[in-house]
């Protein structure tokens, strides 16, 4: 009769190592997605188009 092998659940670190993902890169991506969603909601709330929004932000940037 074949012997059953016990399998432990893979931790997040094990999974990161398997796919080669750095946790800092995952966090950075998540933060950028959140920023993008926030800017989109702000743009729509202000009733601006994408070009108008970009122009509004560009005009406030320091030289």
Question: DSSP letter string over the chain?
Answer: -PPPPP-PPPPHHHHHHHHT--HHHHHHHHHHHHHHHHHHHHHHHHT--HHHHHHHHHHHS--
Residue 36: per-residue pLDDT: 95
Residue 16: per-residue pLDDT: 67
Q: How far apart are CA 44 and CA 51, in angstroms?
A: 12
Q: What is the pLDDT along the chain (63 residues), one digit of tens a residue?
A: 555 555 677 777 777 676 666 778 888 899 999 999 999 999 999 999 999 998 887 877 666
Interior CA angle at 23 toward 19 and 27, to 5°?
125
Radius of gyration for the chain, computed over Cα atoms and rounded to the nearest angstrom: 22
């Amino acid at each position: 009769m074949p012997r059953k092998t016990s399998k432990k659940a893979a931790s997040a670190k094990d999974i990161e190592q398997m796919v080669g993902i750095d946790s800092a890169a995952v966090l950075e991506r998540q933060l950028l997605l959140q920023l993008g969603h926030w800017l989109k909601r702000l743009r729509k709330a202000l009733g601006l188009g994408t070009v108008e929004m970009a122009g509004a932000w560009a005009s406030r940037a320091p030289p």
